[in-house]
Amino acid sequence: MNLPAQTPRPLILASTSRYRRDLLARLCLPFAVAAPGVDETPQPGEEPAALAMRLARAKARAVAAQCPGNVVIGSDQVAVLDGEPIGKPGDFDRALAQLQAMRGKAVAFHTAVAVDDGERVETADVVTRCTFRQVGDDALRAYLELEQPYDTAGSAKAEALGIALMERIESDDPTALIGLPLIALTRILAGFGLDPLDHLHPGHSTAPRAPHDA
């Protein structure tokens, strides 16, 4: 007896980040995006890894609570230099200061992901260690003026010219540094019945929908 195939549950990315949206689209699963509206202020004495995980869980929970029956992905990334968190610079001067401080040093990027369906939550924290080259100020300024990575923690886009600032990258998942660890996420989604390879079929739509359409 052949049973009808189950329709996968709707998937929502609790983020309006274009980087995470583009990464998730690689998995060929249809999804919507929604802004989680979570306060990202660190708690007193909160460790960077704990901050990334708390925010990933909070983002997924916030959207899952509004959208029962959906599977929701939340993610957050915190960069750490000499034990201190590094945020998104926001402008040229802060970005230059970040890159100057990271020269010749290793920076740990904690990329946390949480998947919440309203009944259970599965999480992962993928750590990427980047060692930065000794690069002069003129080259750093030229890089920032060209790429303007002011919305990127650590002020360097490894998926673009920022890779030239790095001497070494160590990670189990090359997508984690960009903002969403797809290897860990694929494993987690499979546990929710959303293995990307199980849902491929002709005419499958992979295009994400507009923010707030969840």
Spatial separation of the C-alpha atoms in residues 82 and 50, rounded to whole Å: 16
Task: Read off the tokens for 51.
Answer: 């901050």
Is residue 169 exposed (0-12), middle (13-18) or buried (19+ Cβ within 10 Å)? Answer: middle
Q: Which of 24, 114, 44 is closest to 77 using CA atoms?
A: 114
The answer to whether 112 and 151 have CB atoms below 8 angstroms apart is: no
Q: Could you give the residue numbers annotated as active site?
A: 76
Q: In the chain, where does DSSP find H-type helix?
A: 18-25, 48-66, 92-102, 137-147, 182-191
Rg (CA), the chain: 18
147 closest CA partner among 85, 96, 97, 75: 96
Tokens of 66: 């509004």
